Structure 1
């Protein structure tokens, strides 16, 4: 769907002097599934750095551990030291690019990842990172090219499948996107982001039965993911469970206030319940729906019910521009205009009558 995924993954790499992994290939690793002990690694790396002080690979390794722990500023500090001490060794650039990407700075991460590639650093992990960074720039062709490179090196890489799905979803090829999300889940059944994306597409297609197992599994692993609660609300709404849907949508926006779909349905439901101030508040946060007739009808009505006749009139006028045959809107416009032109009582005259009495 249309949002940036919260994937927190690690791009493992090999150094000439010491490697982070005992595997013989590079791969993307979901940090939530890493089984080693970051605290123990950190103790060992701190001691090693204290002894040597000038080994850039140790700073790079510690940067990765700090990244796993979510200590991003410290991870960036170590990545900077690694780049300086190794004189732009590509694996150090790779680590710094990943830290910057995780910090939400893709424009700073991209040049470093490209420099690592130019310096002959080849790995599926690097290509997946580049695919993600180009996806964030909406450069889908370049993103696809790098993801293809990733799969040439690692055909079963679940992250390559996942990001291919993201590219295809963004370009409207939902059938292939769903297949790639399924491919990712075949490789990593607990891959929460793939479950979420697949569930979202299934919900959008109205296949709620197929979506529910993915939603249940993802919510168990990520109960604070607002988007998952939004999808759950849509399923419950389709199942004619308005109270449960209302709770799910409320939970969604409490976790992520930018989910416009949840605000939209909360606004519609609150208007139906007569909570007009709440309806207005939610609908105003769902601007992407403002062209829909149901949105305009409910917002205009809520404005009128709360005495905001000028705003109500303007909204009804937009409604008839969008749907000229909507008879009720014309009636509402006439009614509100009458309210607006009706003369107000002369307060001075009222006071004079009170004095005379």
Structure 2
């Protein structure tokens, strides 16, 4: 009993300290605001006032993470602090750091179901659905009952193909909260995977009405309408998603795919380039841009796209091969030979790389497939000469004979 009371007192002290620091942080922001008001009269006199950076959501998140980090560094071992920082890391798209924090929180306090729910969300972000399912199930065992958890379980079950269990949990979510938009989205995912596109779109539109800021919805709209060749609708929802999430690289990538399927190459290249600019790790976009340039034989523009893809992900399928081909076709034979040799070392049976290595070496040695002095240095006089038999053609003009007339007798059986 005494131990539990001590823990509560420590956590209250930590929370009190957090509130004090947050209070000073907001006082600081208020001071900036008062400073701007006081400088308003000076601006009217023509004095130049430096622009104050906008306090964005990302900046607020960074400030909160820094604040919690200071608390942790001050020898605080509260599980709640690690839990809160894990959630912030997840929102900041730093899932590996989030996973480390949530594991620390669970290590301190292993009977908190919300910790396991957050761990499941992190593992889902890391594309580990089976491990995420184990964590989410643990949260359910620890008596967490919320539409968010049941929706998460429904999604994880549909990811591993257990649609019956997925539907069960999604229905439980809707029993608690009938207007939970994400739940309808995952019901749509199940319908789409089972081939019922019409029902899937109905669920997606329900999600749009209930939660218009849900990012995966716009990605799915772009994907589905592109597959249906309704490119105008796919582009419309891509643009709507970009309005909600202007810094999301995947939306620009999906938009590029739609343009590419619609044979609008320039627009597709612009979208892929924007996607890579927003997220350099999005190798699908750089590789797709490289392939478009490659198909129109613009090897000099394709080369840096493939080089970027290989740099970020050396195992990306065929990226290294197309990089070698571009190096070869732009005259950098030495680099092409090295890249082809790397491919063959990784996969000795890759006949494309073997052929490319042979070509690149020939070009490096001769500058072309056949040496310039091949005709003068090769004596062909001793080779057997084969005469091709010729057939004489009679070209004498002969007038055409008139066609003979057929003398048919009248049919005796025909009556006049």
TM range (shorter): 0.5 to 0.7
Deviation readout 1:81-107 (Å, 9 max, x if unpaired): 221222332122222222222233333
Query: Is 1:114 the equivalent of 2:144?
Result: no
Shift of 1:206: 3.0
RMSD: 4.6
Q: Are residues 252 and 286 of structure 1, via their aligned partners in 2, closer, same or farther at CA, if it must alter by over 3 Å?
A: farther
Specify the alignment match of 2:292 in structure 1: 266
Q: Are residues 71 and 136 of structure 1, via their aligned partners in 2, closer, same or farther at CA, if it must alter by over 3 Å?
A: same
Query: Is 1:162 the equivalent of 2:188?
Result: no
Query: Is 1:234 the equivalent of 2:264?
Result: no
Match of 1:225 among 249, 256, 259: 249
CA distance in 2, matches of 1:278, 1:249: 13
Specify the alignment match of 1:208 in structure 2: 231
Relative contact order (C-alpha < 8 Å, sep 6+): which is higher?
Answer: 1
Shift of 1:42: 3.5
CA distance in 2, matches of 1:201, 1:130: 24
8 A contact 1:252–1:262 mirrored in 2: no
Structure-to-structure mapping, 1:1-357, within 5 angstroms: 37-42=60-65, 45-46=68-69, 53-220=76-243, 221-222=245-246, 225-226=249-250, 228-235=252-259, 238=262, 241-245=264-268, 247-248=270-271, 256-258=282-284, 266=292, 271=295, 273=296, 351=377, 353=379
Q: Are residues 248 and 84 of structure 1, via their aligned partners in 2, closer, same or farther at CA, if it must alter by over 3 Å?
A: closer
CA distance in 2, matches of 1:249, 1:63: 31
Gaps of 5+ in 1: 1-16, 20-32, 288-309, 312-343
8 A contact 1:200–1:231 mirrored in 2: no
Gaps of 5+ in 2: 1-10, 16-55, 307-315, 319-350, 353-369, 383-416
8 A contact 2:255–2:268 mirrored in 1: no
Specify the alignment match of 2:330 in structure 1: none
| Total equivalences in the alignment | 265
8 A contact 1:215–1:232 mirrored in 2: no
8 A contact 2:182–2:211 mirrored in 1: no
Deviation readout 1:5-52 (Å, 9 max, x if unpaired): xxxxxxxxxxxx899xxxxxxxxxxxxx97993344345545655678
Q: Are residues 101 and 245 of structure 1, via their aligned partners in 2, closer, same or farther at CA, if it must alter by over 3 Å?
A: closer
CA distance in 2, matches of 1:132, 1:235: 30
Deviation readout 1:177-216 (Å, 9 max, x if unpaired): 1122211121222323212211322232233333332121
8 A contact 1:97–1:109 mirrored in 2: yes
Q: Are residues 82 and 104 of structure 1, via their aligned partners in 2, closer, same or farther at CA, if it must alter by over 3 Å?
A: same
Shift of 1:159: 1.7
- Greater shift, 68-77 or 167-176, is seen at 68-77
CA distance in 2, matches of 1:152, 1:141: 17
